[in-house]
Chains A and B, each alone.
Chain A
Amino acid sequence: MSVTPDQVLDCSGMACPMPILKTKKAVDALQIGQVLKMIATDPGSVSDMDAWTKKTGHELVGQEQSGGTYVFYIRRAK
């Protein structure tokens, strides 16, 4: 992944809706343009992070999956 995250948030082991709630808090704490790396184990987070970024207007700049771990890179857009 070419994006270097400014913050890392580990939501491993959390179920809906916690990854979304924690991500919201973490992105709000970023400066505009900074990137959050969010790690989750909830398979539902793939769909949820897509929906969350669509609704909030923040940018999902990358995502990775290995085994049961999902990694999202989110850039604060506003």
Chain B
Amino acid sequence: MSETSTRIAIIAGHGTLDAAYPPLILATAALAMDMEAAIFFTFYGLEILKKDHADELKVAPIANPAMPMPVPNIIGMLPGMTSVATSMMNNWMKKAHVAKAGELLEMALESGVRLIACQMTMDVMGYKKEDLIDGIEIGGAATFLEFASQNAITLAF
């Protein structure tokens, strides 16, 4: 076995249900593979860190032709369609036995994934430290880059 990258540094920039999964899955799996992981939550990605909110994230049917059951935009724009699409997605994921985003977030914290909330976008979006879950860090670009610069695989979602 050759020693290669032992770190993964991920940017989570979107706050939809589908966008929350890849960072959480990859980071928790990395810890399970004896790697280190950090996720930098910026802009809408901060949604994922809001207290008691990870299981409330939504999926937008509008302009989303990749839904398993595509919804025409003219229908997707109707009031309530985001909730409909979200509960459909939640049902599909339940059937496939996928863990909830909140569970993965908890496992990430428990296993030692560094969860970094972006200070600048917290200010932009009006989030305070107490709006976000406990156990996270708050930092800026340098905090993320210092971690990433040490031979990390870097991904953005």
Contact = CB atoms under 8 A, between A and B. Distances in A.
Question: Chain A interface residue count: which class?
Answer: 10 to 19
Contact of A21 (B1, B29, B98): B29
B97 A17 contact: no
Interface of A: 13-18, 20-21, 23-24, 51-52, 54-57
B35 to A, nearest CB: 8
B68 to A, nearest CB: 16
Nearest to B111: A21
Most chain B beta carbons < 10 A, residue from A16, A18, A24, A57: A18
A22 B9 CA distance: 22
A6 B52 CA distance: 38
A36 to B, nearest CB: 14
B28 interface: yes
Contacts, number: 39
A13 B33 contact: no
B136 interface: no
Contact of A55 (B33, B96, B98, B111): B33
B53 to A, nearest CB: 21
B32 A21 contact: yes
Contact of A15 (B1, B34, B98, B107): B98
B99 interface: yes
B109 interface: no
A12 B87 CA distance: 25
A52 B1 contact: no
